[in-house]
């Protein structure tokens, strides 16, 4: 039996994942678009099952977070004059959505979202593992290889552009 696939590329899910309050989250409007429902329909289903979504699974952005998010958005029309801050769903909240939203598309969307989060965790883990292995190698070899280790570190952490485009909501924006 061949598994069904969703016509949503993984990178579009990845681009919808933001970091808010130190957590990787997806916003209700982005999720509604993936599930092919209106945002108010998704939020209504969540409100009807509020006990399934404790604060660490889902939270509403503060007015300040919402304003920062809007200011970082390239096109303001995507917000469509939204009056209330969006809800942000952490990975556990995204998994819980599968028990609230029904239908074949909901199942496929949820599977793709979970796969995307797993891929992100693997990428972060492999980078951390690579850094540990490099530190172990560096401790074993003398100064002759110091240039090699430095070059590898530079490849692992490319220089940042002078004016980087900031993604997500940043907690301390004192420079601006």
Res. 26 pLDDT band, cuts 50 70 90: very high
**Residue 94 pLDDT greater than 80, yes or no:** yes
Whether the Cβ atoms of residue 45 and residue 101 lie closer than 8 Å to each other: yes
Res. 165 pLDDT band, cuts 50 70 90: low
Per-residue pLDDT of 105-115, as tens digits, reads: 888 888 888 88
Structure tokens at 7: 């016509």
**pLDDT value of residue 120:** 81
Is residue 145 one of the residues assigned to a domain? no
Per-residue pLDDT of 37-57, as tens digits, reads: 999 999 999 999 999 999 999
What's the whole-model pTM score? 0.62
Is residue 94 one of the residues assigned to a domain? yes
Mean pLDDT of 79-106: 84
Lowest mean pLDDT among 12-16, 19-23, 83-87, 153-157: 153-157
Whether the Cβ atoms of residue 67 and residue 86 lie closer than 8 Å to each other: no
Average model confidence (pLDDT) across the chain: 78
Is residue 161 one of the residues assigned to a domain? no
Give dist(CA 172, CA 176) in Å, integer: 10
**Residue 75 pLDDT greater than 50, yes or no:** no
Cα dihedral sign, 108-110-112-115: negative
**pLDDT value of residue 76:** 45
Is residue 176 one of the residues assigned to a domain? no
Is residue 28 one of the residues assigned to a domain? yes
Res. 58 pLDDT band, cuts 50 70 90: very high
> 169 exposed, middle or buried (CB, 10 Å; 0-12, 13-18, 19+)?
buried
| 3 state SS for 11-37 | HHHHHHEEEECCEEEEEHHHHHHHHCC
Is residue 37 one of the residues assigned to a domain? yes
Residue ranges making up the domain that contains 106: 10-127
Mean pLDDT of 82-98: 89
**pLDDT value of residue 89:** 95
**Residue 166 pLDDT greater than 60, yes or no:** no
Is residue 166 one of the residues assigned to a domain? no
Domain count, the chain: 1
Structure tokens at 34: 């993936």
Is residue 108 one of the residues assigned to a domain? yes
C-alpha dist (Å) from residue 120 to 10, 124, 133: 11, 6, 20
**Degrees to nearest 5, angle at CA 95 with 91 and 96:** 115
């Amino acid at each position: 039996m061949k598994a069904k696939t969703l016509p949503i590329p993984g990178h579009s899910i990845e681009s919808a994942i933001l970091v808010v309050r130190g957590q990787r989250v997806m916003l209700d409007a982005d999720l509604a678009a993936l599930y092919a429902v209106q945002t108010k329909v998704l939020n209504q289903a969540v409100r009807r099952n509020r006990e399934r979504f404790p604060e660490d699974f889902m939270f509403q952005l503060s007015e300040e977070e919402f304003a920062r998010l809007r200011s970082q958005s390239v096109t303001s029309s995507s917000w469509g004059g939204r009056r209330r801050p969006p809800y942000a769903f952490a990975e556990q909240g995204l998994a819980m959505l599968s028990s609230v939203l029904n239908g074949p598309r909901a199942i496929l969307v949820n599977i793709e979202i979970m796969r995307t989060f797993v891929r992100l965790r693997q990428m972060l883990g492999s980078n951390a593992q690579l850094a540990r292995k490099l530190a172990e190698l560096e401790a074993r070899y003398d100064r002759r290889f110091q240039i090699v280790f430095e070059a590898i570190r530079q490849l692992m952490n490319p220089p940042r552009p002078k004016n980087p485009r900031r993604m997500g909501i940043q907690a301390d924006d004192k420079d601006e």
